[in-house]
Amino acid sequence: MSTVTVLGLFCADLITRTTRMPAWGETLHGRGFSLMAGGKGSNQAVAAACQGASVTFISRLGDDAFAPLAQDLYRQVGIDTTYIGIDTAASTGTATILVDDTKGDNAIVIDPGACAGMTEDDISAAAERIAAADVFVCQLELPLALCRHGIALAQRAGVPVILNPAPACQLPKAFFQSIDYLTPNESEAAELVGHTVETDDQVIRAAKTLRQWGVGNVLMTLGARGVYIDSDGFQGIVPAISAGPVADTIGAGDAFNGALAAALADGEDLPAAARRACATAGISVTRSGAAASLPTRGEVEAQLANPV
């Protein structure tokens, strides 16, 4: 079985639906509330597990009412929780999410909770598991120093690294040389390269810049258009795969990244892996929530065989 190790954050998603996003100082009536498991790292770990990978997740939870959301989910999908610590003095991470019911768009505020107390020692404890993985995945919800430490352990062992640079921030150029697969969306790419990324030419230019800085493969997600790939073996767009009307876009990027990791761990070539990731994201946006929206491998294979 292919193996994926993910370093990242778990958040309890507190989701409120509205007819539109409020302005600062404005109060609106909501149209429903739900509590779900989330966090980019956690979602990506679950997505990879749902695609058949053997997944280890490195993270930390608080000792509170939100922690069982994670523990029950990981038990259900078979994620190894050996390296998930419990901080009895901290709360579990939370994400407060507003969803625009008319468009499916969302806005998110994250509090990392117990994960704010993670150290490099917590990650070093999982060094053997990282070294044994087929793919290592991380994001930027944890402090950059922790991400860099995990990436260094993977790189030392020759394990390919996927970095999903979200939330977006400026990164040292030398850092990109340690990234095998970089998966920004357009706004994240713009933050990384320092110019607007909207037109096709700007997408191509940004991807080329990131490659010049040392990234092995750039996969820039383009929403409903799909993903633009710049790699040694392929340059171009892998189209999005629609599975029906959009319910909300929460977790679509995480679905893409987790499925990409599982596909690469399975040995699929990059365009095929991206196509599976697009199908996974395409299904996820037809459902509400983040982790709750993630499809199984069987559902993705059926979607690939019979696209809408």
**Domain map (residue ranges) of the chain:** 3-9+39-84+115-305
252-265 and 40-50 helices, crossing angle to 10°? 50
Does the annotation flag 251 for ligand binding?
no
Residue 254 annotated among the catalytic residues of the structure = yes
Residue 287 in marked binding region: yes
User: From the centroid of its chain, how far is CA 152?
Assistant: 19
Mean pLDDT, consecutive 10-residue segments, the chain of 308 residues? Answer: 96 91 93 91 97 98 96 97 97 91 81 95 98 98 96 98 94 95 97 96 98 98 96 96 83 95 98 97 84 88 84
Q: How far apart are CA 226 and CA 140, in angstroms?
A: 22
Please tell me whether 236 is known to bind a ligand.
no
Q: Which CATH number among 3.40.1190.20, 3.10.440.10, 2.40.40.20, 3.40.50.300 corresponds to the domain 3-9+39-84+115-305?
A: 3.40.1190.20
Alpha-carbon span 115 to 260, nearest angstrom: 25
pTM above 0.85, yes or no: yes
Tell whether residue 223 is among the known ligand binding residues: yes
| C-alpha to C-alpha distance for 301 and 51, rounded to whole angstroms | 10
Q: Which of 80, 134, 254, 266 is catalytic?
A: 254
188 is in an annotated binding site: no
Q: For the residues of 79-136, what is the DSSP string, one character each?
A: -B-TTEEEETTSPPPEEEEEEETTT--EEEEEE-GGGGG--HHHHHTTHHHHHT-SEE
pLDDT of 144 reads 95
pLDDT for the residue numbered 243: 83
